Chains A and B, each alone.
Chain A
Amino acid sequence: MVHRSTAMLRRFFILILVGCAAWSAAGPRALGQDTATKEVPVQGGREAGLAAWERVYSVLTHPRCINCHTATNYPQQGDDRHRHLFNVVRGPEDKGVPALNCATCHQGANADSTGVPGAHNWHLAPLSMKWQSRDDRILSSAQVCQSLTNRTKNHNLDGAGILKHHEEEPLVLWAFQPGRHRDGSARSLPPLTHGEFVAATRVWVEAGTPCPQNP
């Protein structure tokens, strides 16, 4: 009798332990799994969020991304971020001008045989999403973070919206599969894989999109 009671007690504690472990592993509800979930900062997660942001920032400021987040009337090209050749200009809709649109060369996919990169709806980021100064200097981590999280500048995206943008936007995806130059060499890649980039964004968003202090 005493033996049976001990066994039942042991099973009870095991059930509690398993339940706690499951709850702990789930942590804060993952974004995207519950549309009702809002950005609820994780207690004690700010430091982790800021660390994750720096990883996100390292991607955003890579030439594959920042070349089209200019503050000027033109996009940039190459790892040296030189001004786009051929007198290309931004245009009123960030897609060039009639007869010299982005789509004049950039198609819906990379053209490796001719060395022209491409993805759906190729265009410049709007000036409100500039991550450079007008003299082409990359803005600080704090400045880019504040810009990215400012809903008056970012097409009214909340954290979940930014995460979705990083997960699905064709031009974001392109940065991780940027194709080849005309000579057959591969374009350089951002410092994280797309999976790592999304994971870092998720940690940052779940921490409440914290931004570094100025500058």
Chain B
Amino acid sequence: METYKLIVNGQAKEVTVDPGTPLLWALREDLKMTGTKYGCGISACGACTVHLGGIATRSCVVPVSLVGDRPIVTIEGIGQDPVGRVVQNAWVSQDVVQCGYCQSGQIMSAVALLKRTPKPTDTNIEESMGGNICRCGTYVRIREAIKSAAQQLT
């Protein structure tokens, strides 16, 4: 076990875990931040997406030992970000969520997309969101929410 300092949503945190522990479990189990979800554990579904150093990252496959000093933003903190706030509002206004389990990952990916591509095409959305799986099939509403957020941001 080793102790790691993590910067989560702008706050300094400490976790004492095995170096190979995925960041997801440090967030959920040690820091009790359960907004980030466990889906597949092999980076295949996107439910565990957080921002690590500004990059949408699958926290289920990143060992805590490789995080370093890069800041982490989770679904709990994304509303403090101007783009994140607009995306969350779009999610509500478009009534995207069905069961909701994948949605924190969907929102984190959508924010990462819009930060780099403010006016995404359908292809941009399909490629960037292609790694986020929704078993309820809310893809059409996700796309509309992203477009709606993009309109508000430009």
Contacts and interface: CB of A to CB of B under 8 A. Distances in A.
A113 B20 contact: yes
A165 B43 CA distance: 31
Interface residues of A, number: 25
Counting chain A CB atoms within 10 Å of each CB, the highest count among B56, B116, B127 belongs to: B127
A113 B41 CA distance: 12
A97 B109 CA distance: 11
B55 interface: yes
Given A85-B44, A103-B55, A114 B110 contact: no
Contacts of B18: 113
A98 B83 CA distance: 14
B9 interface: no
A113 B21 contact: yes
B60 interface: yes
B58 to A, nearest CB: 5
A87 B131 contact: yes
B112 interface: yes
A51 interface: no
B115 interface: yes
Interface string A177-193: 00000100000000000
Interface stretch (B30-38, B61-69, B71-79, B95-103): B61-69
Identify whether the interface residues of A are mostly helix, strand, loop, or mixed.
loop
Contact of B56 (A88, A89, A100, A116): A100
Nearest to A107: B66
Interface in A79-124: 85-89, 91, 97-101, 103-105, 107-109, 111-116, 118
A135 to B, nearest CB: 22
A98 B109 CA distance: 8
Contacts of A98: 56, 112-113, 115-117, 124, 128
B110 A86 contact: no
Contacts of B61: 105, 111, 114-116
A86 B55 contact: no
B84 interface: no
Contacts of A112: 20
Counting chain B CB atoms within 10 Å of each CB, the highest count among A103, A104, A111 belongs to: A104
Contact of B58 (A105, A108, A109, A182): A105
Contacts of A97: 124, 127-128
B104 interface: no
B130 interface: yes
Given A111-B20, A113-B63, 17 more contacts: A91-B127, A98-B115, A99-B110, A99-B112, A99-B131, A100-B127, A100-B131, A101-B55, A104-B49, A105-B43, A108-B66, A109-B66, A111-B63, A112-B20, A114-B42, A114-B60, A116-B43
B63 A114 contact: yes
16 contacts: A86-B44, A86-B130, A87-B127, A97-B128, A99-B49, A99-B131, A100-B56, A100-B128, A101-B56, A107-B63, A113-B20, A113-B22, A114-B62, A115-B42, A116-B43, A118-B66
B56 A99 contact: yes
B47 interface: no
Contacts of B62: 105, 107, 111, 114, 116
Contacts of A107: 62-63, 66
B129 interface: yes
